Amino acid sequence: MDLNVLCLIFAQVFVTCVFAISENSDVHSKILLIEKTIEAQGIEIAGLRGTVKIQQIEINRLNEMVKNLQEVNKHDKEIQIGAFQTNENNLETKNGGKVDLNVTDSPQDAKGYTGIDNNLDDKPRVSRLLTDSVPVLPSSVAFYVQLSTSEQNIGKHHPIVFDHVILNVGTGYNKHSGTFTAPTSGIYVFTFTLFPSRGGSMAVNIFKNSEVIAQSYTQMRTDTFSATTPIAVIDMNVGDIVFVRSSSTYQPHGDVYSDVNLKSSFAGWKIAEL
């Protein structure tokens, strides 16, 4: 066979092999790309499933809340209707007859408006009832007093005498001694607002008899004013005494400040019987 013919045949076979290899390589690349795409879609599907699961849990929670609110609303309506029926049955005239609750005639304004919303006819009309469960104190006890001028250079164990009386219901506060004496037994609230002078600091307590019932520390910067306001809620017997006094363990610095624009004050009031 001629050498040129052999070369041509060999070249044709070589080109065919190269194309076959190239085609196989392209197919392999496409397969890898498809596999990666499927893997990514699987991850995304898993994420969507997780989101759907979380949303379903939230839907169930909201449905439960709606159900509970419907039950509470139903219960409240039943109570309101019962209260209205009870009130209606108890309404009597002076001669023993029942009070007619039906509205037959209503005054109209120039536009014919009667003041009654006819769209609310299907809703229960409930009266506000005063019950015996509301506690009312037989007598009131309260006081509110201020310092008319500053208490200067106070030391340890120093009583603060608030001498300007604004309110003294029950006459329990003594402006000369700065003490409050309980005229009746009960639960009381006591509080004070105290301003140190600029650059001053002090620890001040509320005392019941000889017992500390509220502690407070306050310090005033030289460039501003600030105050402290402790609150105590305690039981008091008749004759128990409450007053404000500086601490017996901390050395105060400066004055208890009070002037026409800034008042240190002391207050207390009875909130309940024992």
Predicted confidence (pLDDT) per residue in 93-105, tens digit: 445 555 454 444 4
In which band, very low, low, confident or very high, does the pLDDT at 185 lie, cut at 50, 70 and 90?
very high
CA distance 89 to 129: 14
CA distances from 169 to 131, 174, 181, 274 (A): 27, 12, 12, 19
> Which range is most confident: 22-26, 67-71, 78-82?
67-71
In which band, very low, low, confident or very high, does the pLDDT at 44 lie, cut at 50, 70 and 90?
confident
pTM beyond 0.85: the answer is no
Q: What is the pLDDT of residue 271?
A: 94
CA distance 79 to 76: 5
> Which range is most confident: 6-10, 49-53, 128-132?
49-53
| 196 has a pLDDT exceeding 80 | yes
Share of the chain above pLDDT 90, in %: 31
Q: Higher-confidence residue: 97 or 45?
A: 45
Q: Considering only CA atoms, which of 274, 217, 265, 215 is closest in space to residue 240? A: 274
CA distance 231 to 194: 12
Q: How far is CA 92 from the centre of its chain?
A: 43
In which band, very low, low, confident or very high, does the pLDDT at 134 lie, cut at 50, 70 and 90?
very low
